[in-house]
Structure 1
Amino acid sequence: MQILCTETFEKQFKSILSEYAKEDFVATKNYKMYLDTIILNIPTKVQKFQKSVYFNDEKIKDLVHQGHVIPFYIDEETGNYIILGIVKV
């Protein structure tokens, strides 16, 4: 089991962090570290997350964190979790 990130997620996340860093670098660093911890714990808390409102697929769930939605796909064949993107709500 692995947690993988798409290029889309990487680009969107870097863009969000760049904007936040302009205002408060320390808060941005803390936000990133906390979100990384949540993402790493997805496999142990997968039941906690709701089916994504952005996709019509039971295997795609939404992680909601501080005004952002992070949809992720559960690949049951490989056991991997794929982070698809991050959007501000």
Structure 2
Amino acid sequence: AEGQQLELARGKRLGVEILTDLLTRHRDETDSAVATAMLEDLDAAVLRFTKVLPRDYAAVLETRQTAISEGLDPDGDVTWARIMEVTGG
């Protein structure tokens, strides 16, 4: 939406690897039963979290990932032109 400064990501866009690492570290350091249960059913646990990103930062990450999937240099001129376009820079 116009004026929206943050992007909210849920589910697969959340970053399952990061969440798994955080839950594992929390469980290991605190012996948390909640973290243990979440790790046992990670698919359900992921749905309980929301990742909050600045809108422009999320656009940059997506643009760079698209460039990589297209075989482009994520730091190249074409990618930077796209980044400037999506961020209004």
Q: TM-score, normalised by structure 1?
A: 0.30
Counting helix residues as a fraction of each chain, which structure ranks higher? 2
Q: TM-score, normalised by structure 2?
A: 0.30
Larger RCO (CA under 8 A, 6+ residues apart): 1
